[in-house]
Chain A
Amino acid sequence: MTYLPKPKFHHPDIETNSLGFSHRDYEGPISTLCAGCGHDSISGAIIKACFELAIEPHRVAKLSGIGCSSKTPTYFLGQSHGFNTVHGRMPSVLTGANMANRELLYLGVSGDGDSASIGFGQFAHAIRRGVNMVYIVENNGVYGLTKGQFSATSDKGSKSKKGVANTDSPIDLVAMALQLGATFVARSFSGDKGQLVPLIKAAIEHKGAAFIDCISPCVAFNNHDGSTKSFDYVRAHNAALNTLDFITGQAPITADYAPGTVEEVKLHDGSTIKLHKLAADHDVRDRGAAINALHRVQSRGEIATGLIFLDDEPDDLHANLNTVLRPLNRLNDADLVPGSAALDKINAGLR
């Protein structure tokens, strides 16, 4: 029923956040993706994270490339400016947008085709530059809009819907992000909102390049036996290194912790990440160890999820460029134009 507009009315007692916004204020039009698509769950998680953090929707810029995943920004945060760019090039557009106005929250949504193939270079360089952003890859291992070709994140040996095995080695975007210097690296699963929502919240509060690889099964082309990106396969092989709660300064701590080691990570803005360590030996602040953990889990045939690495004192592009705190798009003529006296001096030096 995606052709029907969403009704505008809602329950009079609908829950609101500290801004007085309800969950509905963070939604967009009805999704046109296939029923049951993992991507819609991720959209839901983004909505929930933004609602719970009481983000002003219009202070978010959502950017995407091309593909099923890149269509999703239409379906959340309807009050945010969105930009559906070109295939694989969202990272550069996001970088430029961020250069122009450092004050907004930049949410880059991409897919595995978009980021691991055509846009692999842009993915890498945006991360290298430490652009302050939340970069989410909705990773389903196939090209959906063109009907089921393998993507570069497909595991070797994983079978297509027609039964053909993939012969190429996969690109692990999490390993890449770690190597490239991302200061927040996580992996999650669209079917596990309990893990995903706090990860998105923590990524939003992170003031650097935050990357989340979210396995998101394609119900149309990659949800069959023999696929390593199907719901069943991912559920059976999910090795969560930790689960977490993200607690802002104001919010009460209500979460119910299952037994396990709990580590509190205090962030500079006063918020806290409560980390439930499931793999006792995983230290999220050790980049080298994170890369090792990733390989160790992978060699067991499992998928490592959770917060994989965090640098809680990140650098960002603006710090590196030493730009003024006022967004560049708000600089006025007096800031920008040096005037005739300066020009006369320049002329004098050119004779």
Chain B
Amino acid sequence: MPIQSVNDFVVRFANVNGSGSASANQLFARSIIRMGVPVTPRNIFPSNIQGLPTWYEVRVSEAGNLGARGGTDLLVAMNPQTWADDIAGIEPGGYIFYDSSRPIPKSQFRDDLTIIGVPLTEICNKRYTDARQRQLFKNIVYVGALAALLDIDFAEVEKLIDEQFKGKEKLIAPNHEALHMGRDYARANFACPIGLRVRRADNVGDRIFIEGNQAAGLGAVYGGASVCAWYPITPSTSLAEAFMAYCKRLRVDKETGQNKFAIVQAEDELASIGMVVGAGWNGARAFTATSGPGISLMQEFLGLAYFAEIPVVLFDVQRGGPSTGIPTRTQQSDVLTCAYASHGDTKHVLLFPEDPYEAFEFGALAFDLADRLQTPIFVMLDLDIGSNHRLCAPFKWDDTRQLDRGKVMTAQELEAGKEFGRYLDVDGDGIPYRTLPGTHAKRGAYFTRGTTKDRYARYSEEGPDYVDNMERLAKKFDTAKGLVPGPVARPASRQTDLGVIYYGSTSPAMSEAAAMLAGRGIHLDLLRVRGFPFSREVTDFIAAHERVFVVEQNKDGQLRTLLMVECGIDPAQLMPIVHYDGNPITARFIDRAIGEAVNQIKERAIP
């Protein structure tokens, strides 16, 4: 029996890298959003540029579930190389759409699948003579055919094409034509729509559709960043590029054409962070964007920035481990390395955005926090948020908001004789005043070094001076607890002694899983952690529950470790639910894992 579903299914495009499929696939996804139905696409791109497999998965969910679901209902099989695995991944009773220009033996399919063959190559070869046109329009032809098969409103697809080619109007008609060729073929040869169908709804609202990296780059513009130094690394590259693009649009002096920003592609991550440290020391808001291996290379500088108390912002778009391959998949596996980056007793402030909206918010906030706390601030994105388009609330900006530059002593204050000690805690919050180079002719200059200094930045190798400084830094870190975004609690609909802590890109899958589990009678209080150091609310939440599941996307349960160590929690109270195969965590996975864990707890409870 073929799957029957309206506004709730997964389409997976299996493509070949470099074939121009990306924009066609996005056109497909956007046209459904324009019909008011939430859609979440995900790129799965192995570490290649051309000729090798790449996938684009589109989850259509009127209910608004934005996490990965797992499984495929409709496969658009455009890559013979991955055919067998792709077919195996289709749900029972699913659909396969393929290019039937060349016959494929029946044995290559599955009996339970509905087979939709459209001779895409043949159609394109007949219509076009140019090889590149044949290739590119093939993608548009399949979008046309799919629109007909899934009952997508054609007017929406055409409107998107018109918008896309605004300014290049010559391209509009040929694209419409290709779209129509696909539609007409599908209508003539298949009963349209098939069992999977898109029906107009009103569940998108005013939400926007954007990648997390782009949102974070824009956040950096609004956060007042004027210096960016970076080194290309997947999946963070598009963040620096987005910052650059937005700066060109928003930060060029209209009269002179000169830039109110400076961006340098450094020779490596060591130089990137070095430049950011230099600029932060000198009073400009500066950041770098990187991923795990870059964080590893930056360790020494991060310690210096911590001890010298220099405002620095890092966007870590997390991925898997070393070299290439899994690294272009998603993970949340840099939590510990960032929290404790560098040598000596260091500890850093982390922010965990859940989606592009928070990537923008925290992206801007990070610069205020860096200046306020005079320390490195890590914005912990990951590939799933960073490199995929996501529906999210529209960005907001309060025009009365002012950049918080923190404690910077001015020339007037120095002139007036205000006492300046670079590492002197005058307010009891552990945060000292700093001066910027060049402020005053006679006062306020100091020598910046790592740990070997007293409260007045004089060279000192005395033990008590060192301890004094470390104690003040600890106080400062305590102050940070009240400044980082607090956790978001979502209590269960009924009383429960089970809690869940999660963060970042796990958010949509967790929300969906909680509903699935509640449907089975497992009720969970949810707490989404948004910052480190953990505030009192986090420890109170743990204390209020007998068991707390910590759901995350790494092998060792890194946030769980951080909770145990930093909050002194009994390990038995925190149960790890970890997913780390490089694919985004799914509601199905969380549902099964927590379900099994709850069963085990129950079994053990019965003597």
Give CA–CA (A208, B333) in the complex, Å. Answer: 43
Interface string of A69-97 (1 = CB under 8 A from B): 00001100011111111100101111111
Task: Give the residues in chain A near B261, CB-CB below 8 Å.
Answer: 323, 328
Give CA–CA (A86, B282) in the complex, Å. Answer: 17
Task: Give the residues in chain A near B271, CB-CB below 8 Å.
Answer: 89, 91-92, 95, 121-122, 125
Q: Which of A96, A103, A323 contacts B277 (CB 8 A)?
A: A96
Question: Are A96 and B283 closer than 8 Å at their CB atoms?
Answer: no
Question: Are A93 and B278 closer than 8 Å at their CB atoms?
Answer: yes
Question: Given A328-B226, A328-B227, A329-B436: A350 and B283 within 8 A (CB)?
Answer: no
Give CA–CA (A84, B278) in the complex, Å. Answer: 11
Which residues of B71-105 are within 8 A (CB) of A? none
B253 on interface, CB distance cutoff 8 Å: yes
* Identity of the chain B residue whose Cβ is nearest the Cβ of A341 in the assembled complex: B399
Q: Which of A56, A99, A347 contacts B279 (CB 8 A)?
A: A99
Question: Are A336 and B224 closer than 8 Å at their CB atoms?
Answer: yes
B541 on interface, CB distance cutoff 8 Å: no
Question: Are B218 and A325 closer than 8 Å at their CB atoms?
Answer: no
B395 on interface, CB distance cutoff 8 Å: yes
A1 on interface, CB distance cutoff 8 Å: no
Question: Are B226 and A331 closer than 8 Å at their CB atoms?
Answer: yes
**Most B Cβ at <10 Å: residue of A61, A74, A336:** A336
Question: Are B268 and A121 closer than 8 Å at their CB atoms?
Answer: yes
Question: Are B395 and A95 closer than 8 Å at their CB atoms?
Answer: no
Question: Are A324 and B258 closer than 8 Å at their CB atoms?
Answer: yes
Q: Work out how many contacts link A and B, with CB atoms closer than 8 A.
A: 228
Question: Are B208 and A96 closer than 8 Å at their CB atoms?
Answer: no
Give CA–CA (A229, B301) in the complex, Å. Answer: 32
Question: Are A346 and B395 closer than 8 Å at their CB atoms?
Answer: yes
Question: Are B227 and A100 closer than 8 Å at their CB atoms?
Answer: yes
Question: Are B260 and A336 closer than 8 Å at their CB atoms?
Answer: yes
Task: Give the residues in chain A near B442, CB-CB below 8 Å.
Answer: 58, 79
Q: Is the interface of A mostly helix, strand, loop or mixed?
A: helix
Distance (whole angstroms) from the CB of B364 to the closest CB of chain A: 9
Question: Are A322 and B259 closer than 8 Å at their CB atoms?
Answer: yes
Question: Are A80 and B437 closer than 8 Å at their CB atoms?
Answer: yes
Give CA–CA (A331, B397) in the complex, Å. Answer: 19
Question: Are A82 and B266 closer than 8 Å at their CB atoms?
Answer: no
Distance (whole angstroms) from the CB of A119 to the closest CB of chain B: 9
A339 on interface, CB distance cutoff 8 Å: yes
B6 on interface, CB distance cutoff 8 Å: no
Question: Are A92 and B396 closer than 8 Å at their CB atoms?
Answer: no
Task: Give the residues in chain A near B398, CB-CB below 8 Å.
Answer: 340
Question: Are B274 and A122 closer than 8 Å at their CB atoms?
Answer: yes
Question: Are B438 and A74 closer than 8 Å at their CB atoms?
Answer: no
* Identity of the chain A residue whose Cβ is nearest the Cβ of B286 in the assembled complex: A96
Question: Are A337 and B403 closer than 8 Å at their CB atoms?
Answer: yes
A258 on interface, CB distance cutoff 8 Å: no
Give CA–CA (A333, B207) in the complex, Å. Answer: 27
The segment from B53-61, B445-453, B464-472 that touches chain A is: B445-453
Task: Give the residues in chain A near B402, CB-CB below 8 Å.
Answer: 333
Question: Are A61 and B437 closer than 8 Å at their CB atoms?
Answer: yes
Which residues of B426-446 are within 8 A (CB) of A? 435-442, 445-446
Give CA–CA (A124, B266) in the complex, Å. Answer: 12
Question: Are A99 and B278 closer than 8 Å at their CB atoms?
Answer: yes
Question: Are A74 and B459 closer than 8 Å at their CB atoms?
Answer: yes
Distance (whole angstroms) from the CB of B392 to the closest CB of chain A: 9
Question: Are B260 and A99 closer than 8 Å at their CB atoms?
Answer: no
Give CA–CA (A98, B397) in the complex, Å. Answer: 31
B481 on interface, CB distance cutoff 8 Å: no
Give CA–CA (A93, B445) in the complex, Å. Answer: 18
User: Chain B interface residue count: which class?
Assistant: 35 or more
Give CA–CA (A324, B251) in the complex, Å. Answer: 10
Question: Are B274 and A100 closer than 8 Å at their CB atoms?
Answer: no
* Identity of the chain A residue whose Cβ is nearest the Cβ of B283 in the assembled complex: A329
* Identity of the chain A residue whose Cβ is nearest the Cβ of B208 in the assembled complex: A350
* Identity of the chain B residue whose Cβ is nearest the Cβ of A349 in the assembled complex: B208
Q: Which of B221, B266, B441 contacts A92 (CB 8 A)?
A: B266
Question: Given A101-B284, A329-B283, A347-B394: A323 and B267 within 8 A (CB)?
Answer: no
Question: Are A97 and B447 closer than 8 Å at their CB atoms?
Answer: no
Question: Are B278 and A351 closer than 8 Å at their CB atoms?
Answer: no
Task: Give the residues in chain A near B395, CB-CB below 8 Å.
Answer: 343, 346-347
Give CA–CA (A122, B172) in the complex, Å. Answer: 49
Distance (whole angstroms) from the CB of A206 to the closest CB of chain B: 20
Task: Give the residues in chain A near B259, CB-CB below 8 Å.
Answer: 321-324
Question: Given A100-B278, A101-B284, A121-B268: A324 and B253 within 8 A (CB)?
Answer: yes
Give CA–CA (A89, B275) in the complex, Å. Answer: 9
Question: Are A96 and B397 closer than 8 Å at their CB atoms?
Answer: no
B559 on interface, CB distance cutoff 8 Å: no
Question: Are B278 and A58 closer than 8 Å at their CB atoms?
Answer: no
Distance (whole angstroms) from the CB of A91 to the closest CB of chain B: 8
Question: Are A61 and B282 closer than 8 Å at their CB atoms?
Answer: yes
Question: Given A337-B403, A339-B397, A343-B396: A100 and B267 within 8 A (CB)?
Answer: no
* Identity of the chain B residue whose Cβ is nearest the Cβ of A125 in the assembled complex: B267
Question: Given A101-B437, A323-B258, A336-B224: A84 and B267 within 8 A (CB)?
Answer: no
Question: Given A83-B448, A340-B397, A347-B395: A100 and B224 within 8 A (CB)?
Answer: no
Question: Given A323-B258, A342-B250: A100 and B445 within 8 A (CB)?
Answer: no
Q: Which of B209, B284, B435, B441 contacts A351 (CB 8 A)?
A: B209
Which residues of A3-62 are within 8 A (CB) of B? 56-59, 61
Question: Are B262 and A74 closer than 8 Å at their CB atoms?
Answer: no
Question: Are B279 and A96 closer than 8 Å at their CB atoms?
Answer: yes
Question: Are B438 and A99 closer than 8 Å at their CB atoms?
Answer: no
Distance (whole angstroms) from the CB of A241 to the closest CB of chain B: 31
Give CA–CA (A91, B271) in the complex, Å. Answer: 8
Which residues of A301-351 are within 8 A (CB) of B? 317-318, 321-325, 327-329, 331, 333, 335-340, 342-343, 346-347, 350-351
Interface string of B401-439 (1 = CB under 8 A from A): 011000000000000000000000000000000011111
Give CA–CA (A333, B224) in the complex, Å. Answer: 7
Distance (whole angstroms) from the CB of B361 to the closest CB of chain A: 12
A219 on interface, CB distance cutoff 8 Å: no
B210 on interface, CB distance cutoff 8 Å: yes
Question: Are A86 and B304 closer than 8 Å at their CB atoms?
Answer: yes
Question: Are A331 and B260 closer than 8 Å at their CB atoms?
Answer: yes
B281 on interface, CB distance cutoff 8 Å: yes
* Identity of the chain B residue whose Cβ is nearest the Cβ of A84 in the assembled complex: B449
Give CA–CA (A97, B283) in the complex, Å. Answer: 8
* Identity of the chain A residue whose Cβ is nearest the Cβ of B271 in the assembled complex: A92
Task: Give the residues in chain B near A346, CB-CB below 8 Å.
Answer: 218, 395
Interface string of B262-302 (1 = CB under 8 A from A): 11101110111111111111111110000000000000110
Task: Give the residues in chain B near A337, CB-CB below 8 Å.
Answer: 221-222, 224, 397, 403
Q: Which of A78, A79, A89, A325 contacts B441 (CB 8 A)?
A: A79
Question: Are A96 and B227 closer than 8 Å at their CB atoms?
Answer: yes
Interface string of B22-38 (1 = CB under 8 A from A): 00000000000100000
Task: Give the residues in chain A near B107, CB-CB below 8 Å.
Answer: none
Task: Give the residues in chain A near B394, CB-CB below 8 Å.
Answer: 347, 350
Give CA–CA (A230, B51) in the complex, Å. Answer: 60
A295 on interface, CB distance cutoff 8 Å: no
Question: Given A81-B446, A84-B447, A104-B437: A93 and B281 within 8 A (CB)?
Answer: yes
A129 on interface, CB distance cutoff 8 Å: yes
**12 intermolecular pairs with C-beta atoms under 8 Å apart:** A58-B441, A79-B445, A82-B448, A99-B275, A100-B279, A101-B283, A324-B253, A324-B258, A336-B226, A340-B399, A342-B250, A347-B394
- Since A92-B275, A324-B256 are in contact, a sample of 14 more A-B pairs with Cβ atoms closer than 8 Å, ordered by chain A residue number, is A58-B442, A79-B445, A81-B446, A91-B274, A99-B275, A122-B270, A324-B260, A331-B260, A336-B221, A336-B285, A339-B397, A343-B395, A347-B206, A351-B207
